């Protein structure tokens, strides 16, 4: 067997779109010709650090043209700030990238500026340097990286002063016309041309695919051209255009590449339409796969299968629905993860998946909802845009883990009170960013609520009202990080403000799954995303 028989599961890389025509950046001939702008991301210590770096530039004759701060590290700078910097500056310093999402959006902002012909220095801590460089195009002359030690946000004022004094000479060196330009690479492991296989060498092939960065550490099947062809036989579905870019690497999800990743897992060919729908949903702009893939949070897309044919295709919505032992749940969830890993270019081993701890759901997080036991709407009808009850579909949300809730309740009021007390948590992303958490009710709990006359809207409203937490209970740094993401909901967040877990009751997702007994599960969310559903096209 030769390499020509293997389909690379990483796919081709889509061109990076900056939304404007790219212009070549020219670094100032000297600092006396520089009009320097600063773009901070609002994280602790950035303002002071940038102020002192600006002083170092001024001491060498540069003019500080403007200093802007975006709403927070989890958002892009926005067109208005980019335009203001481009109009006033011929050099921009931006950052500080000292977290996963801060880095991914920091790179995005830097590329937007560089595409307009503005030279950019991206300040990034050493811990997130690999992630930043993995997202940069090859040999981009208009963007240079200033590495600084990690951690940064937790430094004291005196430590920030010392770091600024240490880094100022490095900044002055980088902004010279002949300064260093970062060399970047795909960071996806070994080149596939270095891999050779034989038909009978299954375990060795699995090990070498692991070493190449194609797998998740579990045994895998070779994505041979014959296996990929077999996977695609009989599927009449199609993906949009030339393929869907999967963030952050922008590898193209085509029928061939998603089939190659499905082959790695041993997924049955009949499930390929479900995988294609999951890719479609996860790559919708509102889902923010870009942020989910590059955050230090343990965020993982959870796939919830619904529709009339879910059981006919082997998905488990009953006993042990979140656990092992089901081929359809396991292989669909794993295949989606490998598509995100290989096409999206994220890997903890390669330093491009920055999740501090991660979670088991980053291997597999897939189950079906028991619509027969659900007295209300299935998930695909709770998201925007909603699908119909007759549709087979997958619904995705960004999960940060699971919490079991054993509640031996006999009436709906009692059950709701216990659910509310179990959901309140000051360390939750949902409170900080206003998320879309998922409550998986067991059939017995759902039956109690239905018997007592609770509608879905009334149930969500009750939990919205009873899970609020006084703003003063959050730590000062958590309060600081909450201000920008939730500013659209509140004119001011005062110490006595009651902060809800979600922006509005409908943002709470509810489904039914599981077997006998009174165990429901809460799935807190990443926060910076909107749930998405996609129809399965057989």
Residues 340-377 pLDDT 10s: 999 999 998 888 899 999 999 999 999 999 999 999 99
Give the residue among 117, 115, 113 at the shortest CA–CA distance from 94: 113
**3-class SS of residue 396:** strand
Are 167 and 264 in the same domain? no
Are 220 and 167 in the same domain? no
Q: How do residues 99-139 score in pLDDT, each as one tens digit?
A: 998 998 999 999 999 999 999 999 999 999 988 988 888 77
- Residue 519 neighbours by CB under 8 Å, 6+ apart: 404, 405, 406, 442
Are 519 and 378 in the same domain? yes
* 170 part of a folded domain: yes
* 11 part of a folded domain: no
Are 78 and 221 in the same domain? no
* 376 part of a folded domain: yes
Are 236 and 276 in the same domain? yes
pLDDT of res. 512: 98
* 293 part of a folded domain: yes
Write the secondary structure of 240-280 as one string of H (helix), E (strand) and C (coil): CCCCEEECCCCEEECHHHHHHHHHHHCCCHHHHHHHHHHHH
Are 170 and 236 in the same domain? no
* 445 part of a folded domain: yes
Block means of pLDDT (10 residues each) for the chain, 538 residues, are 74 66 82 95 93 96 95 87 96 95 92 94 95 82 94 94 97 85 45 48 82 95 95 80 88 95 97 98 95 94 98 98 97 98 92 92 98 98 97 98 95 96 96 96 98 98 98 92 87 95 97 98 95 96
Give the residue among 256, 292, 288, 262 at the shortest CA–CA distance from 274: 262
Do 76 and 187 touch, CB atoms closer than 8 A? no
Classify each residue of 223-251 as buried b or exposed e, where b means 16 or more C-beta atoms within 10 Å of its C-beta: bbeebbeebbeebeeebeeebbbbbbbbb
Are 459 and 327 in the same domain? yes
* 221 part of a folded domain: yes
pLDDT of res. 139: 73
Angle separating helix axes 46-59 and 157-174, nearest 10 degrees: 40
Are 303 and 214 in the same domain? yes
Q: What number of other Cβ atoms are within 10 A of residue 364's Cβ?
A: 24
pLDDT of res. 197: 56
pLDDT of res. 184: 44
Structural domain span for residue 429: 202-535
As a whole number of angstroms, the distance between CA 266 and CA 211 comes to 19
Are 531 and 403 in the same domain? yes
* 195 part of a folded domain: no
Q: Per the structure, how many domains does the chain have? A: 2
Q: Against a cut of 0.85, is the pTM above it?
A: yes
As a whole number of angstroms, the distance between CA 175 and CA 178 comes to 8
Are 168 and 207 in the same domain? no
As a whole number of angstroms, the distance between CA 434 and CA 431 comes to 5
155, 174, 193 — which closes off a domain? Answer: 174
Are 208 and 72 in the same domain? no
Are 491 and 350 in the same domain? yes
pLDDT of res. 490: 92
* 25 part of a folded domain: no
């Amino acid at each position: 067997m030769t390499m020509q028989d293997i389909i690379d599961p990483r796919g081709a890389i889509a061109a990076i779109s900056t939304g404007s025509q790219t212009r070549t950046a020219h670094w100032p001939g000297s600092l006396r010709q520089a009009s320097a702008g600063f773009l901070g991301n609002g994280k602790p210590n950035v303002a002071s650090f940038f102020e002192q770096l600006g002083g170092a530039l001024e001491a060498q004759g540069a003019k500080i043209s403007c200093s802007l701060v975006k709403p927070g590290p989890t958002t892009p700078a926005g067109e208005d700030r980019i335009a203001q910097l481009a109009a006033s500056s011929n050099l921009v310093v931006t950052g500080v990238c000292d977290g996963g999402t801060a880095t991914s959006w920091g790179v995005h902002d830097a590329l937007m500026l560089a595409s307009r012909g503005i030279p950019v220095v991206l300040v990034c801590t050493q811990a997130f340097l690999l992630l930043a460089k993995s997202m940069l195009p090859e040999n981009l002359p208009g963007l240079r990286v200033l590495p600084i030690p990690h951690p940064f946000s937790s430094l004291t004022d005196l430590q920030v002063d010392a770091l600024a004094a240490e880094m100022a000479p490095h900044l002055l060196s980088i902004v010279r016309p002949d300064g260093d330009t970062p060399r970047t690479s795909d960071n996806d492991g070994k080149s596939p041309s270095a891999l050779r296989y034989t038909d009978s060498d299954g375990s060795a092939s699995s090990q070498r695919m692991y070493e190449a960065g194609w797998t998740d550490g579990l045994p895998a099947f070779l994505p041979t051209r014959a296996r990929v062809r077999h996977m695609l036989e009989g599927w009449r579905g199609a993906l949009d255009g030339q393929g869907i870019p999967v963030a952050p690497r922008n590898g193209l999800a085509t029928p061939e590449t998603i089939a190659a990743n499905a082959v790695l897992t041993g997924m049955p060919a009949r499930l390929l339409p479900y995988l294609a729908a999951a890719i479609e949903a996860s790559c919708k702009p509102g889902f923010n796969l870009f942020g989910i893939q590059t955050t230090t949070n343990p965020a993982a897309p959870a796939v919830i299968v619904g529709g009339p044919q879910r059981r006919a295709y082997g998905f488990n919505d009953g006993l042990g629905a979140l656990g092992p032992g089901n081929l359809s749940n396991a292989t669909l969830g794993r295949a989606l993860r490998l598509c995100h890993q290989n096409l999206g270019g994220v890997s903890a081993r390669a330093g491009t998946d920055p999740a501090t701890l991660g979670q088991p759901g980053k291997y597999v997080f897939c189950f079906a909802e028991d619509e027969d036991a659900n007295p209300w709407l299935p998930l695909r009808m709770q998201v925007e845009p909603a699908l119909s009850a007759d549709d087979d579909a997958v619904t995705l949300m960004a999960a940060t883990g699971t919490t079991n809730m054993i509640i031996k309740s006999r009436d709906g009021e009692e059950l709701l009170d216990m659910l509310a007390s179990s959901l309140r948590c000051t360390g939750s992303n949902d409170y900080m960013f206003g998320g879309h958490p998922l409550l998986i009710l067991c059939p017995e709990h759902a039956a109690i609520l239905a018997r007592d006359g609770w509608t879905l809207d009334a149930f969500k409203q009750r939990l919205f009202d009873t899970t609020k937490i006084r703003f003063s209970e959050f730590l000062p740094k958590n309060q600081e990080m909450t201000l920008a993401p939730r500013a659209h909901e509140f004119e001011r967040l005062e110490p006595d403000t009651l902060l809800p877990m979600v922006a509005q009751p409908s943002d709470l997702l509810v489904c039914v799954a599981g077997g006998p007994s009174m165990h429901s599960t809460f799935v807190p969310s990443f926060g910076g995303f909107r749930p998405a559903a996609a129809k399965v096209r057989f």
